[in-house]
Each structure stands twice: as structure tokens, then as C-alpha cells.
Amino acid sequence: MPKILFCGKGGSGKSTLLSLLALHLSETRDVVVIDTDESNTGLARMMGLDPPGQTLMDFLGGKDSVRRKMGPRGAPGESRAFFPAAGVAGGSFPGVCESARGRIRLASVGKIEHAHEGCACPMGVLARDVLGNVPAGADRWVLVDTEAGIEHIGRGLLEGMNAVVVVVEPSHDAVALAGKIVKLAAGEGRRCLAVLNRVADGTESLLKEALARVGIETAATLANSQAVAKANLLARPLALEPFRKEIGKLAEALER
């Protein structure tokens, strides 16, 4: 199950979970991480990487340049001819746009850098085209981080994905959003798995029951962790070891 899209409510822990899964998978295979979140800048740090020197958007000349070159394109299913010509074909990224450590490679589509720079639609088109040209396989997984909510699904990022991982914190809003995500994914024939995050005593069974009612299988549960909170506060990489068992369960569920 090599191409995985991570979704969920803002602050639910999508980047944290993706980073832990990347660290786990990289012990036995190659992992390509694509950051499509236009706001969050902490993904590289969580995996112990330096940020890429440039985003793919900047490499292509910036948002205005991409907007002009893509013209009227942008609907899901249209041909991908522009972005592969810019050096993304075959899954190889321009060196300045890639950061690597061990068997993990990271590229970022683009970030909002200035006030009044306009909508992020060109980044969505670029993200979809890039993802369509990054190959995956049993020994090469592609993990995709997204912004909060479901706008990226509306932009067509489910194209080419094998599964969706929904990160759910203990809240009604998180469960409600998960239910909407699973409906959208099912409409595109994509499988959804849930991972519970920041779970405290007495809430795991309640969350699993609520998710089962909206049709989502729970693959793993991560307890509330002061170690993660401290690492994020001090800008340190995450440690896999406390979560190895549950992250292993997620990997196994995705491979089924």
C-alpha cells in the first residue's frame, strides 16, 4: 500500500504520525515524503532532516509563474505535461528541492510566504501533478502530508493514492471530520484507516465506537505523550521507540 495521504483536523497530529511512520518504514525500505501543507514548517525537523533548500513552487519560478504556465489546466484527470518537464519526472527531484537522511527523502510543494499573495490553488495543481509522477512500490512508499481539513481532497489529491490515514484526536469535531473524509474517499474508491492520537485513559473505546459508526477501521492508537510535546517545544526530532508497536500495527494494516 505504497501511496498514503494523511488527513485530519487541524492540530490532530498528522505531521507527527507521518514522521513516525516514515522513521519506521525507513528501517527496511525507501520512503518519499511530500509536504503539501502550505503553512506548517516543522515536518523536516520531526524526522531529523534539514528543510529542503527550495520548495518545488519556488524552483519553478514562484506561484505567479506556475499560474501562468498551467493556464486553464487544473481539473482532476487532466494530462500531466508541464511539471515533469521541470525535473520531477520519475520521482527524482531537483537537488535543491530535496532533503534526505538515510532512506527518507523529503520535498515540499510550496509555502505561503507573504501577505496578500493570493490563494494556494497553484500549489494544489502542482501537488497533484507531482504526486502523479512520483512512483511507488513495495520497497518505496510515498507519504503525503496535507493541510488541515479536506480542501486538498477537493483539489484532487486522492488521485493515485492507495489509502487515506485519518488522524483523530479525542473530540467530536475530529470524529465528524473523519466521517466526511471516509465518505469522500469511498466515492473515489480509496480505503480509509484511522489512527487515534493523544488518547488518554477512558477515551480509546469511546473513540473507536464513534469511528466505527461512521465506517472507519482504527489501525493504531497513540497515547498522549509528554515526550512528543517536549520535542516539539524544543524543536527536536521525534523518537520512534515509544511508539514502535503501534506504528508497526499501522504499517501492517496498510500493507493488507
> pLDDT (tens digit, 9 = 90+) per residue, 58-114?
898 887 777 776 666 544 444 455 555 456 666 678 889 999 999 999 999 988 776
Q: Tell me: the pLDDT tens digits for 210-223?
A: 999 999 999 999 99
The predicted structure's pLDDT at residue 85: 47
**Ranges under pLDDT 70 in the chain:** 1, 69-91, 114, 116-120
pTM score of the predicted model: 0.91
The predicted structure's pLDDT at residue 91: 65
The predicted structure's pLDDT at residue 77: 46
The predicted structure's pLDDT at residue 125: 82
Contact 62, 113 (CB under 8 A): no
Cβ neighbors of 121 (< 8 A, separation 6 or more) are 67, 74, 155
| CATH code for position 99 | 3.40.50.300
Place of cell 493504531: 220
The amino acid occupying position 204 is E
The predicted structure's pLDDT at residue 247: 98
Q: Phi, psi at residue 149, to the nearest 5°? A: 90, -150
Q: Which of 6, 1, 5, 9 is nearest to 178 (CA)?
A: 9
Q: How many angstroms separate the first and last alpha carbons of the chain?
A: 8
> Which residue range forms the structural domain that includes residue 187?
3-255
Domain count along the chain: 1
The strands making up 217-223's β-sheet, listed across from edge to edge, are: 98-101, 104-108, 30-35, 140-145, 3-8, 163-168, 191-199, 217-223
In the three-class reduction of DSSP (H, G, I as helix; E, B as strand; rest coil), residue 7 is classed as strand
